Amino acid sequence: MRILFIYPNINTQIGFNYGISYISSYLKAEGVETYLLNINEKLGYPLDHERIKQDIISIKPDMIGFSVLTNQYKYALEIAGNIKKYTDVPIIFGGIHATMDPQETLSQKCVDYICVGEGEEAILELIQKGSPQGVKNIGHKTRGGSILEPLRPFADITGLPFKDYEIFDFQKMIDAKDGWVGLTASRGCPFRCTYCLNHKIIGLYRDQVTSRNTI
């Protein structure tokens, strides 16, 4: 099984995506091949649909996953829409945008599945089952509309493999930033700043996971 991640990090600073790095390492530990198109003009990979097409044809993925922030959403839709012109490989959108606006994201024709919240266990289960039905954290389409499966509890981070830096060609990122790079030493954030959406994520898990486990 081959999974291709696409990070449409366009017209912004060079960024490292922790979600992709964690999911990639988790899948690799289970024997899944992972690849990445880190699309950022400062890394020598601008938004070039023909180049993306040739890379996809070369990799021959069984699934394509996008990790999307809201400011990247329009680029992700553009890329995914173009991909659907030459392959029927299923496309899954995850990341903050899909988590915060799942129904609208899933309504897009070029999006087959979405992942709400954490993706390690959900993506692996989706791969193993070959079907999204009953896979927690996954949203999928039906003939009559769509289904958002319930959330699973947060993963036990002590059981997760270390982040996959290799998939990002980390040294290339360091060189492009003149020898420095920022790192985040935690997973998630405990605070609820009014200007940030983190309080929404906390509320989402509180309402769907914590309340369900206390019934």
The answer to whether 138 and 146 have CB atoms below 8 angstroms apart is no
Q: For position 215, what pLDDT does the model report?
A: 37
Question: For the segment 73-124, what is each residue's pLDDT rounded down to a tens digit?
Answer: 999 999 999 999 999 999 999 999 999 999 999 999 999 999 999 999 999 9
> CA 142 → CA 35, 78, 107, 115, distances in Å?
29, 23, 11, 16
User: What is the rounded CA–CA span in Å between residue 202 and residue 117?
Assistant: 10
Contacts of 44 (CB under 8 A, 6+ apart): none
Q: For position 211, what pLDDT does the model report?
A: 53
What structural domains does the chain harbor? 2-179 (3.40.50.280)
Closest C-alpha to 214, from 158, 159, 153: 153
pTM of the model: 0.92
pLDDT along the chain (215 residues), means of 10: 96 91 96 97 95 98 96 97 97 96 96 96 96 96 91 90 92 89 79 85 82 48
User: What is the rounded CA–CA span in Å between residue 194 and residue 204?
Assistant: 16
Contacts of 150 (CB under 8 A, 6+ apart): 136, 208, 212
Q: For position 214, what pLDDT does the model report?
A: 45
